[in-house]
Amino acid sequence: MHGVVNQAIEGLISQRFGTEAWEEIRIASQCADTTFYNNHNYSDTVTYALVVNASKILDMDIQTLLFEFGKYWVLTIAAEKYAALLHSAGKGLREFLVNLPNFHSRVMLYYPEITPPEFKVLEVSDTTLELQYFSKRPGLHPFVSGILEGLSTFFETPATIELMDTSMEDEYHKSVFSLHF
Amino acid sequence: MQTLKKLFPFYLRLDKDLNIIEYGRSMGKLLHENGSFKDHFKFIRPNFGITHSFASIAEFLDQFFILELFHHPKKVRFKGQFIIHHEHEDELWFCGSPWLMSVEDLQQHDLFVTDFAQHDSAIDTLLMLNQNLLNLQDNSKMIADLKQKNERLQQVNERLDAIVYAITHDFRAPLLASIGLLQLPESMVLEELPEILHTLKRLDRTIIHLNELSKNEKIALKFSTINWEELIRESYHNYSVIYGIKIPIHLSINETTPFHSDTFRIRTIVNNLISNAIKYARPVLEETSFIKISIHTDPSSCIFTIEDNGEGIDEKNLENIFKLFYRASIKSQGNGIGLYIIKEMVQYLKGTVTVKSVKNEGTTFTLKFPNQKLE
Ligand code: HEM
């Protein structure tokens, strides 16, 4: 996984639980890297190991942790590195999400080696959007929930976010979210 | 026509007199009135030999254009090309898009990614520029990391050199002496046993010291309340037993607030200082030898002073005593690690250590530590 995702894990743990907790988790995960760079690709095994060990050491369930990592990613990492980029993709959360499917496709142009997720957005009504998330990686839908929650704060667009369904389609793990504005 | 509009949301349609007769929906965010092309746009490239006339532009149809919307409060430049559509031969169409240098520029012009056509690589170039900035951030972080690691390596290397030197010289000499003594006829070996034991014990202390030194690097700081009285009494008792000497100790503790620091390091520092004070006491003084320890803590710091009337240190050696494996004389009983450990640990605790000494009169060490906050 790309460095920006691992940065969220490192950042949140160090900020809320201290650098000692982070060191313990990093070492337990056999992660030799002491810093994650923005533009570097790391093995997915490291990312999953960090999450699993963080869950054990901090005694928090994996889903809650992933959700928190997602929120932190938007509100700290992306707000610092990609604020203008996020704003450039929409005036509010709804407009932003309608454009979301293009986002990772464009990112893939300059990081051809990554496997970013795909999204489909259906405008169900004036107040409801359906967001479908497809990833080759398993179990990350709580991370998406956290990102959506963070985006709602970032764009100052209140919304209720609900996970409707998770399933497999071909080699993709699919999750369906309903967003009500 | 509709297709073209979709592909170039920043297009301009000009008539024979170069009046703007239509513009794309995204161009509408930057250009708010039709009027004459000349009143709004100037040619940046091509610039030589081009005029604001249909015929002149028509001569440059095979060229790449940079136009500047100069009336706009923050002059916007466009890149693109002019074409003449076969069904509208008396019109010139400009097909292109704004050329911006950062994602922030988009915001400044109130533009969104969606104002650009999907195929337009201008937006990808912007994203790439943004990514380049992050790359630069990475680079400076990497350089800083490398610099720090380099310094660290250099330090470790120097220490390693000193350790190897010590092992080959200082460790080997007592070992060879002990081996020599052990090879004497049995009756004589028995006689030499106390000397051998003494030599080996000294070697063992050196090894313990080296271990403490390596722990200083590895063990994370852990702050708790320091119980000075208990810590000093325990250390004093242990070293009095080890050296078999009992020197009177005067302890004065003035603690206005509890002192918080790293127990492992404070204990090691105190052990080394007390052990030195006992080890270097002058036997001739007998009962008049003393060790005076005074401690003063306040919310921000703690000052620890230890004074003795022992052997003292020659002035010329004072500046070197904190160096690794430094020994004032060949006869020195120490291994040259104790004071180095003290210096390293004090530094680790962000404290300071100073020394005053007069040969054959005594020595005073003054240490100052920050009072840490407990989480
Ligand atoms: C500034 C905007 C964004 C950038 C630059 C960005 C970039 C990236 C990158 C580089 C990865 C790593 C992919 C890999 O290593 O294979 C990633 C993963 C991911 N991104 Fe984004 N992203 C952005 C916004 C979003 C948003 C808004 C969402 C969700 C609503 C999202 C959801 C995810 C998820 C869930 C992953 C984990 C990988 C997976 O699911 O397979 N991202 N992103």
Look up residue B229 and give its two tokens: 């009285």
Same domain, yes or no: B190 and B328: no
- The CA distance from B112 to A89, in Å, is 6
Farthest-apart Cα atoms in chain A, separation:
49
Under a CB-based contact definition with an 8 Å cutoff, are residues A133 and A144 in contact?
yes
Quick check: is A116 in a domain?
Answer: yes
Mean pLDDT of chain A: 94
Q: Are A84 and B128 in contact (CB < 8 Å)?
A: no
What is the per-residue pLDDT for B371? 96
What total number of domains does chain A contain? 2
Same domain, yes or no: B137 and B26: no
Q: Are A81 and B142 in contact (CB < 8 Å)?
A: no
Same domain, yes or no: A24 and A93: no
Under-50 pLDDT residues of chain B: none
Same domain, yes or no: B141 and B254: no
What is the per-residue pLDDT for B331? 61
Residue A84 touches chain B, beta carbons under 8 Å: yes
ipTM of model: 0.81
Measured CA to CA in angstroms, residue B257 lies from B69, B261, B266, B372 at distances of 69, 13, 17, 12
Residue type (1 letter), B330 = I
Same domain, yes or no: B126 and B207: yes
Whether residue A101 has a cis bond before it, omega within 30° of 0: no
Quick check: is A110 in a domain?
Answer: yes
Same domain, yes or no: B258 and B367: yes
Same domain, yes or no: B354 and B232: yes
What total number of domains does chain B contain? 3
Same domain, yes or no: A51 and A92: no
Same domain, yes or no: B368 and B250: yes
What is the per-residue pLDDT for B39? 95
Quick check: is A65 in a domain?
Answer: no
B134 neighbourhood in chain A, CB within 8 Å = 38-39, 81
Q: Domain containing B6: what range?
A: 2-119
Measured CA to CA in angstroms, residue B327 lies from B6, B206, B330 at distances of 84, 13, 7
Burial of B15 (0-12, 13-18, 19+ CB in 10 A): middle
What is the per-residue pLDDT for A73? 96
Same domain, yes or no: A49 and A105: no
> Which atom of ligand 1 lies closest to the CA of A44?
15
What is the per-residue pLDDT for B336? 79
Last residue of some domain: B186, B218, B250?
A: B218
Quick check: is A97 in a domain?
Answer: yes
β-sheet bridge partners, residue B41: B69
Asked if the model's pLDDT at residue A122 lies above 70, the reply is yes
Residue A129: give its domain's CATH number. 3.90.1520.10
Same domain, yes or no: A15 and A87: no
Measured CA to CA in angstroms, residue A33 lies from A22, A23, A29, B40, B347 at distances of 12, 11, 11, 54, 26
Digit-coded pLDDT (tens) for B4-27 = 899 999 999 999 999 999 999 999
β-sheet bridge partners, residue A43: none
Residue written as tokens 């078999």?
B244
Same domain, yes or no: A28 and A111: no
Last residue of some domain: B161, B183, B218?
A: B218
Last residue of some domain: B218, B249, B278?
A: B218
Q: Are B141 and A99 in contact (CB < 8 Å)?
A: no
Same domain, yes or no: A20 and A103: no
Strand, coil or helix: A111: coil
Quick check: is A78 in a domain?
Answer: no
Digit-coded pLDDT (tens) for B176-232 = 888 888 898 988 888 888 888 888 887 887 788 778 877 887 788 889 999 999 999
> Which atom of ligand 1 lies closest to the CA of A1?
15
- The CA distance from B99 to B236, in Å, is 76
What is the per-residue pLDDT for A87? 92
Q: Domain containing A33: what range?
A: 3-60
Same domain, yes or no: A120 and A161: yes
Same domain, yes or no: A161 and A123: yes
Digit-coded pLDDT (tens) for A16-39 = 999 989 999 999 999 988 889 988
Mean pLDDT for A94-116 is 89
Residue B328: give its domain's CATH number. 3.30.565.10
Preferred mutation among B105, B108, B134, B141 to probe A, highest tally of A CBs within 10 A = B134
Asked if the model's pLDDT at residue A132 lies above 80, the reply is yes
